[in-house]
Structure 1
């Protein structure tokens, strides 16, 4: 059944892009992923087929193995809560401080950095980010992002702090 799903996708893909051929052994290897749902199987196939289409390179079992081994780890989805927690921890604040109305620089700058990171590392809208930071307006988030971008261009220490937080937040869990 799993192989049949992948085989039909491969035939459909090859009809649209005749130069892309996914070997049977690659389809077999994807189908062997017992813990993967049908949706994940199709996603894995699509990733491999798209790579072949874009690079015009043949798909090898080695490439398929690399893709499968990266499953779930390389692009850890970072949530706003993770960003708030790590930013608060880094600046020795409580997450509640990032939600508060306090405007002192001790709290406001880390809040702006967290908003900036939320915009950079998540697919959330400005209004959504604002809601997650004490029900702030989207223009407040926009101002924070612009301010941090501007400060990073002139303040080397701040840029290093922001880069460090980005790096920490981009690491897969457990790494």
Structure 2
């Protein structure tokens, strides 16, 4: 008999509860309605969380700086932001499947244009990445979370591997076919 809405621990028969682990136990075939909130990284008393927020902001502001300085790289930066707008691997958000949709090039351009249109961002960059949703339609907590997950993917991969080892969750290596 198949498991309805299987979670990772059900599939691998791992005897832990959500309260016992430091990660959200994912469903295998749909997102869970949780989000990575960059503001909480900034607000956290943890220096590691603060450093992750700084990485996120610095990386995004670097895209904005290049966008302002290099006319010939604008299209490439717009495409990079489109790619970063969905992080299906993490399984967070409001999707009914693990396959989400990316933003359009128009929306990506609107985001990068904030660096041109708003004098404070042009001079200083963003200090809070989630402010984007105040200026650009179709950008909400789910999309902000996806951007944040992609910018912080290296940390999330390391954390996931550590937790898998800790709880004997099977892992396997694979090649990134998108490259």
TM more than 0.5: no
Task: Considering Cα pairs closer than 8 Å and 6+ residues apart, tell me whether 1 or 2 has the greater RCO.
Answer: 2
Which protein is richer in helix relative to its size? 1
